Amino acid sequence: MMPLPWLVVFLPWLGAVALALAPPRGRLPALVNLGVAGGFCALALGLLGAEHGVQGWTRTDAVNLPLVALSGLIGLASAAFSAATLDCERFDGLRARAYHAAFQIFLGAQALALLSDNLGVMWVAIEIATLSSVLMVAVHGTPSAIEAAWKFFVLCGVGIALALFGTILLYLAAQPLVGQGDPGLSWGALRAVAAHCDPGILSLAFVFLLVGYGTKAGLVPLHAWLPDAEAEGPLPMSAVLSGLLLNAALLAVLRAKAVVGLHPGALAPGPLLVGFGLASLLLAAFALWRRRDARRLFAWSSIEHVGLSAIAFGLGAPFAGMLHLMGHSLVKSAVFFGVGAAAQIKGSQKIAEIGGLAASHPALGWGLALGIAGLAGLPPFALFVSEFLLVAQAAARQPWLILPLGLGLLVGATALIRVLQALCLGEPTPDRPVPGGFALPGGLLWATLPLWSLLALAVLLGFALPPGLAALLSDAAVLLE
Amino acid sequence: MSFGSLPYDIAHLLGGAVLLMSFVLLYQRRLEAVIGAFAVQGALLAAAAFWQGFAQGAPHLYVTALLAFGAKALLIPLALRIALRRLGLHRTVETALGVGPSLLAAIALVGLSVLVVLPATAGQAQALTRENLALALSVVLLGMLMMIARRNAISQLIGLLSLENGLILAAIGVQGMPLVVELSTAALVLMLALVAGIFVFLLRDRLATLDTGDLARQRGEGEAP
């Protein structure tokens, strides 16, 4: 019997094969996609109860299990949204096949990236996730989609290459202590010997891993691909890219940090992360004021939130960081569903052409408004709690940090509130629906249901954290410290 | 196992030759010549992998050598040549940074990588591993330089591929590096090239040019309304 974590990875990949081979007939592929995502979600949630330990190249521990469960939930919600809006995308047969297969390959690959114990396997998984998401970005084939995909592909290709160099260096540092072969790249083995490794090589390795995986995580100044990529491609793609890929990449940085941080003589990884995080937060907070395209705006907001998580982890507040990562994934995916549905109704993703949603489509408009308020850090969502914890920790450890942190949070939040008003309140702009949109029975309901469910989960995460999950997150904080 | 002087010299020679080809890539003015230089670099990389396999007594490196030779010395250059011929592209290399400045920058980058790697690894590791790593990092940085300094999509792609050559050079130089990494790298480079190839063809369809400078116009934000 295959270990459960392997099943979590292989199920979507099997689904991808089936979706690539099956003839696209009517709604069947979208429903199969939904079914496989449902199975993936069930397995990922089931994994929460599994024992912690190592199974070959994968490991289950307190750090990755919550993130895997999260990816199951977001994967399922995205597949549901995808089924509801598939007709809006107007795919031909080949594109529909490529899109569905790439979606499932992506789900499996990012789960493998989260679960892998072996840094080499993690690298391969992130590479596969990148390739499949490049395919999803480019699937429409319009000039702007091609440009976004090319930029994404080239920048992330360089990033991934640098991460591999860092991985090789990390092995070189550990090699005299762990010997040759697979254990040299195992995260557990590396942590066990890190304190006795050569500090020079460890520092060099961390710099390469940070720059390499940091590119994928969208940290400034390596973020240039992210807004372009998220503004193009099918709607559900933005949700999984923002909600899942960034987490997997940031986790890779954190795994490296947890190894390198154990050696007192090596470069201290915390201040570097805080620096990258602050740059991301401040640049993104100001950039939010100048966006005219709704999907780009929320891509910039992802950069802001990844920056905030990086600050939390760098500062040594991993509990706040984990909570922030998870809260951001839930709320941001929900907001992308709302923006996606609105863009289909209004026929444009320009902020100026979407307006007054709360009056014209109350369920969608209010959901989107709540989601944007959540992103701005307002209660009752998890991001409020995590930002509060982060500011409190910053005040306790590095009081000077309060100033730039507060400035970034405030500027970003006000920009988002302004967008909230523009999109959801005020006079409705005329509807120009994309032909064929929301053809499922129930129409818009299928697009708003995933939005509201993710928002509900984000509230739960913030104010009614189940004790089991809270214990898991506290354990994770110890592992990442 | 210990390195006698001959295995050391040959490994060093091959690593140096791979780096030399990175310089050759930078001063070509015609795309065919760039592709040719890349093929030679691939062949040299395969030879280096083969030699390391022999010297370290690690037979799995022969597989890496074979894959590198098949993919980088034969398949990818052939595919790029066919693409070039079929598409009837204009075949000169458009530079964003001239050849002279590129070469100067390249020399500076090699100096940088030597200065970074050698002191950092001073405590440990054999001389061969350290110097091999410095060579590999130079190849990686030169690949990045090529991506920045050239505007043509094919040249940029070759820059990325040559960057990956540097990674493989690093991986084979470290003794006992698990097989996973080499095999996956080799397989993934091929995939990267395939995906990139698809892009190049699509670009051709849509824009009738491979100059990525023209793509800047397509950025989604657009003009102010």
Segment (H or E) for A55: strand A53-55
Confidence of residue A108 (pLDDT cuts 50, 70, 90): very high
Confidence of residue A281 (pLDDT cuts 50, 70, 90): very high
Chain B residues with CB-CB distance to A147 below 8 A: 215, 218-219
Answer whether residue A68 is part of any domain: no
Burial of A221 (C-beta count, 10 Å sphere; 0-12/13-18/19+):
exposed
The mean pLDDT of B184-210, rounded to a whole number, is 54
Into how many domains does chain A fold? 1
pLDDT of residue A441: 61
Interface residue B95 vs chain A (CB under 8 A): no
DSSP per position, A253-303: HHHHHHHHTT-TTSPPHHHHHHHHHHHHHHHHHHHGGG--BHHHHHHHHHH
Burial of B141 (C-beta count, 10 Å sphere; 0-12/13-18/19+):
buried
Q: What percent of chain B has pLDDT over 90?
A: 14
The mean pLDDT of A460-480, rounded to a whole number, is 86
Q: Which amino acid is at A36?
A: V
pLDDT in tens, B106-163: 899 999 888 888 777 666 556 667 888 889 999 999 998 988 888 777 787 888 888 8
Interface residue B74 vs chain A (CB under 8 A): no
pLDDT in tens, A401-446: 999 999 999 999 999 999 998 888 878 887 777 766 665 666 677 7
pLDDT of residue A140: 82
Cβ distance B147 to A154 less than 8 Å, yes or no, reads yes
Cβ distance A161 to B160 less than 8 Å, yes or no, reads yes
Q: What share of chain B is helix, strand, coil (3-state, %, to 5)?
A: 80, 5, 20
Q: Which amino acid is at A432?
A: R
Interface residue A189 vs chain B (CB under 8 A): no
**Count, residues in chain A:** 481
Answer whether residue A51 is part of any domain: no
Q: What percent of chain A has pLDDT over 90?
A: 34
Residues 315 through 354 of chain A touching chain B, CB cutoff 8 Å: 350, 352
pLDDT of residue B158: 85
Answer yes or no: is pLDDT of B201 > 70.
no
The answer to whether residues A128 and A109 touch, using CB atoms and an 8 Å cutoff, is yes
Cβ distance A200 to B122 less than 8 Å, yes or no, reads yes
Task: Write out the two tokens for A1.
Answer: 């019997």
Interface residue A17 vs chain B (CB under 8 A): no
Q: Which amino acid is at A301?
A: S
Q: Which of B116, B170, B195 sits opposite A168 (nearest CB)?
A: B170
pLDDT of residue A170: 87
Q: Which of A131, A200, A292 sits opposite B191 (nearest CB)?
A: A131
Confidence of residue A111 (pLDDT cuts 50, 70, 90): very high
Q: Distance between CA B54 and CA B46 in Å, rounded?
A: 12
Chain A residues with CB-CB distance to B185 below 8 A: 164
Chain A residues with CB-CB distance to B181 below 8 A: 120, 123, 164, 167-168, 185
Handedness of CA A348, A354, A359, A361 (dihedral sign): positive
Chain B residues with CB-CB distance to A154 below 8 A: 147, 156, 160
Confidence of residue B215 (pLDDT cuts 50, 70, 90): low
Comparing alpha-carbon positions, the chain B residue that sits nearest to A199 is B120
pLDDT of residue B222: 44
Q: Which of A72, A50, A73 is nearest to A62 (CA)?
A: A50
The mean pLDDT of B165-180, rounded to a whole number, is 77
Cβ distance A131 to B192 less than 8 Å, yes or no, reads yes
Cβ distance A164 to B167 less than 8 Å, yes or no, reads yes
Answer whether residue A315 is part of any domain: yes
Answer whether residue A20 is part of any domain: no
Full domain range(s) for residue A277? 269-481
Interface residue B140 vs chain A (CB under 8 A): yes
pLDDT of residue A292: 85
Lowest mean pLDDT among A290-304, A442-456, B205-219: B205-219
Answer yes or no: is pLDDT of A478 > 90.
no
Q: Which of B124, B171, B178 sits opposite A182 (nearest CB)?
A: B178
Q: Which of B175, B181, B188 sits opposite A180 (nearest CB)?
A: B175
pLDDT of residue B208: 46
The mean pLDDT of A2-20, rounded to a whole number, is 88
DSSP B125: S
Cβ distance A144 to B225 less than 8 Å, yes or no, reads no
pLDDT in tens, A285-300: 999 888 888 889 999 9
Q: Which of B184, B218, B224 sits opposite A144 (nearest CB)?
A: B218
Cβ distance B121 to A176 less than 8 Å, yes or no, reads no
Task: Write out the two tokens for A459.
Answer: 């509230």
Cβ distance A167 to B164 less than 8 Å, yes or no, reads no
Chain B residues with CB-CB distance to A292 below 8 A: 221-222, 224-225
Chain B residues with CB-CB distance to A142 below 8 A: 206
Interface residue A118 vs chain B (CB under 8 A): yes
pTM for this prediction: 0.90
Answer whether residue A380 is part of any domain: yes
Chain A residues with CB-CB distance to B140 below 8 A: 161-162, 165
- Looking up tokens 């509130």 gives A417
Q: Which of A120, A165, A203 sits opposite B140 (nearest CB)?
A: A165
Mutate to test the interface with A, among B128, B184, B201 (most CBs of A within 10 A): B184
Cβ distance B181 to A123 less than 8 Å, yes or no, reads yes
Answer whether residue A221 is part of any domain: no
The mean pLDDT of A70-83, rounded to a whole number, is 91
Cβ distance A293 to B220 less than 8 Å, yes or no, reads yes
Chain A residues with CB-CB distance to B143 below 8 A: 161
Answer yes or no: is pLDDT of A156 > 70.
yes
Confidence of residue B1 (pLDDT cuts 50, 70, 90): very low
Q: Distance between CA A301 and CA B142 in Å, rounded?
A: 34
Q: Distance between CA B212 and CA B152 in Å, rounded?
A: 6
Answer whether residue A53 is part of any domain: no
Q: Distance between CA A459 and CA A371 in Å, rounded?
A: 11
Q: Which of B121, B164, B222 sits opposite A161 (nearest CB)?
A: B164
pLDDT of residue A344: 84
pLDDT in tens, A206-256: 999 999 999 999 888 888 888 888 888 888 888 888 889 999 999 999 999
Comparing alpha-carbon positions, the chain B residue that sits nearest to A350 is B221
The answer to whether residues A277 and A310 touch, using CB atoms and an 8 Å cutoff, is yes
pLDDT in tens, B61-84: 888 888 888 888 888 888 788 777
Domains, chain B, with CATH or none: 5-92+100-212 (1.10.287.3510)
Cβ distance B215 to A150 less than 8 Å, yes or no, reads yes
Chain A residues with CB-CB distance to B125 below 8 A: 172, 198, 201
Chain B residues with CB-CB distance to A127 below 8 A: 184, 188
Q: Which of A120, A135, A291 sits opposite B178 (nearest CB)?
A: A120
Confidence of residue B223 (pLDDT cuts 50, 70, 90): very low
Interface residue A182 vs chain B (CB under 8 A): yes
Distance of CA B181 to the CA centre of its chain: 17
Confidence of residue B224 (pLDDT cuts 50, 70, 90): very low
How many beta carbons lie within 10 A of that of residue A425, not counting itself?
Answer: 15
Answer whether residue A61 is part of any domain: no
Confidence of residue B181 (pLDDT cuts 50, 70, 90): low
pLDDT of residue B170: 86
**Count, residues in chain B:** 225
